[in-house]
Structure 1
């Protein structure tokens, strides 16, 4: 799939970075590497905890860029992993290098804007606001309720059969 851009300061906070002014550059760099590694582990645990099937999942974080590799069981799983990673606070770009075991049509993606609802987005993509549940289901388990979306969040919009 390639590179995906996200709003770096929107989403779930996973880093907890704090830099003391007196630390020298080396100490800061070491601390940042440690925090990036911890954040990568936390993201991987989140993906596993959501029971998304990705063999040999590997996540590497460098500043605000994340490289994701592994073999996803299907296209939807691959796209959900990208969304989980990218919709995390502090992440601006996801370099998706995952492969897919069972290929299917790629979904479209849509960034949530202020005052958006899933119904409004469904109307935009499917010409039918009542199909909001398709978008909701496509973004589970990241979304737990249809009305809990936020500006800057990237959503998966699946192709209708």
Structure 2
């Protein structure tokens, strides 16, 4: 529902923009398309790589590695898996539910979800291209550290 609202809003604002200045709107759309074309090969490569990884590794194997009894090792493994995996949140949260039902620990899932959403090992080349090496490395290190803190806090609270 929210996505549909955003699409309607985007189209409405595009119409408003076109009514104000047709040439600027046309130029903006051309720039957006060119940017999309430049990023598409990298995104397709990432999507294909993740698809292959997810086809090879099933939920049961992951839940065995990050079970409740795996402790700190499980948090590190979950963080590493989350850092190198690139899947959207609408897939990640149901996957976390399945993993929880198959014996994964809360701390491990918190680390997995946090790093999955915030750390982007697979996207580092793309990030470096647009943000620079220093900013990309700093962002990923801070996100990884914060994810570990979140996992520990979730383990203590829950």
**Fold shared by both chains (TM-score > 0.5):** no
Higher strand share: 1
TM-score, structure 1 as length reference: 0.30
The higher relative CO (CA closer than 8 Å, separation ≥ 6) is in 1
TM-score, structure 2 as length reference: 0.30
